[in-house]
A and B are shown apart, each in its own frame.
Chain A
Amino acid sequence: MKISIKRHTIEPEVHEEVIEYSVELEDVTLLQALTEIKTKHDATLSFESDCRSSVCGSCAMRVNGKEVLACAHKVQEGDVIEPLKNMPIIRDLVVDNSQAMAFNKSSHAWASDVTNPQQPTHDNALFNALQSDCILCGSCYSACPVYSVNPEFKGPFALTRVWRYVSDVREEDAQDKIEVIQNNGIWDCTLCNECVPVCPQGIAPKQDITMLRNKSGMMGFMDPAFSNNFGGGGFDNNFGSFDGSPDFGAPQF
């Protein structure tokens, strides 16, 4: 089987090259194929992996343009392997995800302090069980067109994580979380759905962002595009969503 891997090295100078490898394996995961290449043919090939069972989030990359976990993708003849997009490449298939990870913190994705919290019911626990399946692999940031043009956009997994805590019945005061995701957060998402099919855990960040918008509305926050258009003054003010950037998130009338 032949597969192509986009190599990216920065020493001695930046160099990119697509290299084709032959692998004598059938019916294996991409991670098994990469490991075979590294241990038998080319020790310089760099990628990350750890658990082999789709829970550690290390081995996200792109195959034929689509984000996958290498350990969960059955490699096919002719597959083209590339690193995730929208993150600096450290080497080959290894990217620096630190900026995306930092959005967890800046989005206050954690539980507020409570003692003796209300106990969730069986149904409560099932309601947001999916959101906490997230493994922070970064596939959703790679697929996100908003993040590709706005590196300050808090992005899919961080916002899903906020919804996981906001929707938890143990959470007594979600005010600070809702506040910090107003700017470069839920309203910047275009609900384009690109993050949904790439999630290896079947999570729909777009859906979670929609839920956070509803929650924000209930708590008195408004879509800034909406308030600019209808409550923010005249033409001398910001031009709202008419500034050239698409904003399909504004309420439709």
Chain B
Amino acid sequence: MIKLYQNTDKSETLKMIDVLIIGAGGAGLVSAIHAKQAGASVQVICQKTPTRSQTSMAQGGINAALNHHNDDDSVEAHISDTLKSSHGIGSLEAIEKLCTEGIDAIKWLDEIGVPFSRDENAKIAQRRLGGASGIRACYAQDYSGLKILHTLYDYANKLGIEFIDEHFLLNFITHQDENSKQIAGATFINLKNGDAEAYYAKTVIVATGGYSRVYHKHSTNATGSTGDGIAAAIRAGAHLSDMEFVQFHPTGLKNSSILISESARGAGGYLVNSKGERFTNELLPRDELSRAILTEIEKGEDIYLDIRHLGEAFINEELPQERKLAKLYENIDPVTDLIPIKPVAHYTMGGIRVDKHSQTSIKNLFAVGECANRSVHGGNRLGGNSLLELIVFGKEAGINAANTAKNLKKFAVNNHQLTSDSNFVTGVKYFTNQIDFYEKREFMGNIFYNNAGIVKDDMGLKAVLGAVRQMQKELPFMGPRDKSKIYNTNLVEFIEFGNMVELAEIILVCAISRVESRGSHYRSDAPREVDHAFKAHTITWKEDGVLCADFVGDKA
């Protein structure tokens, strides 16, 4: 053991920075900005380049009870709506913080230059999203996420934040001393040369996004939403929570799963079946609406979103993206035609379990955004709350990581993780390729959508679990077909698939264990909430590579 420590490359410790942020989407950028402003040295490392992230796709808006419509909206109403939607497993502390600080979050975004849409009174324009008792979502046309993301990027540039592009996360580096385990950095593939590289830091913030791409083509998400940070976290010993909670968005385009924003319904769009009949209240929460649509589809109906009555001028000003995408992918014009839709995986409430400081169960590893579970969404997220989560808890994570790092001296770290990951990056090219992982990826998406999606039951879930465990065994018989080092996206997609297979087992084990229905988790064989057994978080972790699960209630 002593000998191994002598191998430690001391020069690595000199490069140790205060805060390493993994991911340059909204959550990563907000964390970086606040960590930097708190005086920490900061690096942001990302898989592509900044702004190529899921945040760009958020259309509907960001909630804050500004009451610009004088409809008696209030922070209390926002809290109450969010609590209700969380179905008993949202944390009151987290939700109160989210909604209360929401007001200042919008003020901050306004000051750094986010170009929100404005109403006739020169106030930030707001619109109603599903499940909201007030007109509460601030927006920038239907580019709310894009414009917030890019403004954050510009502000990060202003602060001189260092970005490291084209690095794909492999694993976290932890440091074990006699007392406890703490974070020490992370390893990546440098896509430009194909080498494994280590970045050492006193604190790490993981902001790598959700895992909706487990549902593959049945998801609105960008292809990068493969849960890489979450998979790395559980491998490093972190706890995950509530992984069975996946939100389905009622209105994805039927063929491509491209999102048609909730604002289309908020503005008065109808859902109709093949006979042209409305069959539900379009402003129901997303889980109830998705199930209502699924029921109709199972009767053999095709489902359409109808926004024709909103008029061309309105559609052009408020929903220009929707019009463009419907034309491109479905060959229809929403001004004159019905839009064919189906519910698709949209947002993953589960993630890396964090405490009220946004810290994970690994010391000095923080998590924020969709990869984290800060317990604000609970069993079901409200539209407009995820962008807000990034701003409020990105600040929390950034400041806490910076302050933690200030009180921490640089320390020596052994390079075992880098050695092991370098070996993996070399060795994975020798996997046998008898089985095509792209086919398995598509297959997994289909069986998840059909049996572990909007409506689940015990038999279906166990069948999918059997298939997933088989895939885990088969991974060494898959592998990348491209053996090159430079910019090997085939290799990246294979590792992403490996991460998804790892998370798939966890999602299924959680969904099988939770024999009830709550929020987005709906079991046809147990259609009621069962508070005495399940009003609790599903916690998962690994011990010596073995998956463990337990239900844990919130501390009062």
Cβ of A212 < 8 Å from any Cβ of B?
Answer: no
**Cβ of A215 to closest chain B Cβ, rounded Å:** 17
User: Which range holds the interface residue count of chain A?
Assistant: 35 or more
* B488: A residues at CB distance < 8 A: 46
* B146: A residues at CB distance < 8 A: 55, 133, 135
Chain A binding surface, main DSSP class: loop
- 0/1 string, B320-341, CB within 8 A of A gives 1: 0100110011010000000000
Interchain CB contact (< 8 A) of A101 among B49, B123, B141, B489: B49
B490 engages A44 (CB within 8 Å): yes
State the CA gap A52–B220 with chains docked (Å).
9
State the CA gap A48–B480 with chains docked (Å).
17
Q: Which residue of B lies closest to A58 (CB)?
A: B52
* A98: B residues at CB distance < 8 A: 49, 165
* B486: A residues at CB distance < 8 A: 9-11, 90-91
State the CA gap A16–B465 with chains docked (Å).
45
A43 engages B480 (CB within 8 Å): yes
**Cβ of B21 to closest chain A Cβ, rounded Å:** 18
Q: Which residue of A lies closest to B433 (CB)?
A: A43
* A91: B residues at CB distance < 8 A: 484, 486-487
**Cβ of B45 to closest chain A Cβ, rounded Å:** 14
A122 engages B119 (CB within 8 Å): yes
State the CA gap A135–B153 with chains docked (Å).
12
Q: Which of B8-16, B107-115, B237-245 lies at the interface?
A: B107-115
Please, how many residues of chain B have a CB less than 8 angstroms from a CB on the other chain?
60
A72 engages B165 (CB within 8 Å): no
A117 engages B49 (CB within 8 Å): no
Cβ of B544 < 8 Å from any Cβ of A?
Answer: no
* B321: A residues at CB distance < 8 A: 53-55
Cβ of A164 < 8 Å from any Cβ of B?
Answer: yes
A69-112 interface with B by 8 A CB criterion: 72, 74, 90-91, 94, 96-98, 101, 104-105, 108-111
Q: Which residue of B lies closest to A32 (CB)?
A: B256
* B118: A residues at CB distance < 8 A: 119-122, 124-125
Chain B binding surface, main DSSP class: loop
Cβ of A39 < 8 Å from any Cβ of B?
Answer: yes
Cβ of B53 < 8 Å from any Cβ of A?
Answer: yes
Interchain CB contact (< 8 A) of B57 among A29, A51, A120, A171: A51
- A39-B438, A90-B487, A109-B157 known; A114+B115 contact, CB < 8 A: no
B195-237 interface with A by 8 A CB criterion: 222-224
State the CA gap A226–B238 with chains docked (Å).
64
A120 engages B122 (CB within 8 Å): yes
* A128: B residues at CB distance < 8 A: 115
A41-73 interface with B by 8 A CB criterion: 43-44, 46-58, 72
B122 engages A43 (CB within 8 Å): no
**Cβ of A160 to closest chain B Cβ, rounded Å:** 12
Cβ of B137 < 8 Å from any Cβ of A?
Answer: no
State the CA gap A125–B489 with chains docked (Å).
40
- 23 A–B pairs (Cβ distance < 8 Å), ordered by A: A11-B486, A43-B480, A44-B481, A53-B325, A55-B143, A56-B51, A56-B222, A72-B324, A90-B192, A94-B487, A101-B50, A104-B153, A109-B157, A110-B113, A111-B155, A117-B111, A119-B122, A122-B117, A132-B143, A132-B151, A135-B51, A135-B56, A171-B113
